[in-house]
């Protein structure tokens, strides 16, 4: 059986210049967590926007390996929320495990444990280092959930816009962003589109929220309960 190991805290060694986790650093693991088929547009664009919000809130900077581990846990919080959102929207049960959230991330035992108070016991029944990593990761996931969601709601400028950008994350924003008309191009003998109006984010919010139906209402209520 693995015994609990406490590593000295790195907080006392946190002087010096801070580094930052950037989208280029983590876009592939984040896209894996979001089940994004590509690293631009759609869910990936939403993930990049979410990371920018965390960056603006100072939640992607680190000076120590322990602080960097916490940043990666925050990415997992985003991924888990998005997975649960999508499952609810599609009417499917959510089965994702801690293992699936851990897999895309490069997390080691020592930095994880350095992020956890020494009076938190994780070793009860643990029989391997991997099990300790899993338990430490789960503990930090729970700890970071509220701060991350609060930062996202603030960064998206409120609960309704937070939902709006979730809803648009795997749809064509263009369908909501522009008011268009079709016209016949005699020179090319084809129907084309002309943009009559480009909606602001405030208009876009109205565009998204005004088209209500039972499935969307259910998803909206679920998101509101989570945040």
For position 8, what pLDDT does the model report?
43
Contact 165, 48 (CB under 8 A): no
Confidence of residue 9 (pLDDT cuts 50, 70, 90): very low
Q: What does the H/E/C string look like for the chain?
A: CCCCCCCCCCHHHCCCCCEECCHHHHHHHHHHHCCCCCCCCHHHHHHHHHHHHHHHCCCCEECCHHHHHHHHHHHHHHHHHHHHHHHHHCCCCCCCCHHHHHCCCCCCHHHHHHCCCCCCCCCCCCCCHHHHHHHHHHHHHHHHHHHHHHHHHHHCCCHHHHHHHHHHCCCCHHHHHEEEEEEEECCCCEEEEEEEEECCHHHHHHHHHHCCCHHHHHHHHHHHHHC
For position 128, what pLDDT does the model report?
85
d(CA 191, CA 186): 9
**Closest to 216 in 3D by CA, of 123, 119, 117, 85:** 85
Instruction: State how far the alpha carbon of 216 is from the alpha carbons of 152, 163, 187, 206, in Å.
Output: 21, 10, 42, 14
Q: What does the H/E/C string look like for 165-179?
A: HHHHCCCCHHHHHEE
Q: Would you kindly state where each structural domain of the chain is located, as residue ranges?
A: 11-155, 168-213
For position 7, what pLDDT does the model report?
39
For position 22, what pLDDT does the model report?
96
Q: What is the pLDDT of residues 77-133, one digit of tens each?
A: 999 999 999 999 888 888 878 889 999 998 999 999 999 888 887 766 667 888 889
Backbone Cα Rg of the chain? 21
């Amino acid at each position: 059986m693995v015994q609990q190991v406490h590593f000295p805290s790195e907080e006392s060694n946190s002087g010096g210049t801070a580094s930052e986790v950037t989208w280029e650093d983590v876009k592939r693991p984040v896209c894996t967590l979001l089940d994004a088929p590509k690293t631009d547009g759609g869910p990936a664009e939403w993930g990049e926007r979410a990371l920018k919000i965390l960056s603006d809130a100072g939640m992607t900077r680190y000076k120590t390996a322990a602080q960097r581990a916490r940043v990666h846990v925050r990415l997992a919080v985003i991924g888990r929320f998005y997975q649960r959102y999508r499952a609810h929207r599609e009417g499917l049960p959510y089965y994702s495990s801690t293992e699936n959230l851990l897999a895309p991330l490069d997390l080691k035992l020592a930095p994880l444990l350095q992020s956890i108070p020494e009076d938190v016991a994780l070793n009860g029944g643990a029989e391997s280092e991997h099990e300790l990593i899993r338990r430490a990761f789960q503990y930090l996931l729970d700890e970071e959930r509220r701060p991350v969601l609060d930062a996202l709601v603030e960064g998206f400028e409120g609960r309704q816009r937070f939902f709006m950008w979730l809803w648009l994350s795997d749809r064509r924003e263009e369908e909501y962003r522009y008011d268009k008309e079709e016209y016949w191009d005699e020179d090319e003998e084809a129907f084309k589109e002309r943009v009559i109006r480009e909606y602001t984010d405030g208009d876009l919010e109205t565009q998204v929220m005004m088209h209500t139906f039972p499935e969307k209402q259910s998803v909206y209520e679920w998101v509101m309960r989570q945040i």
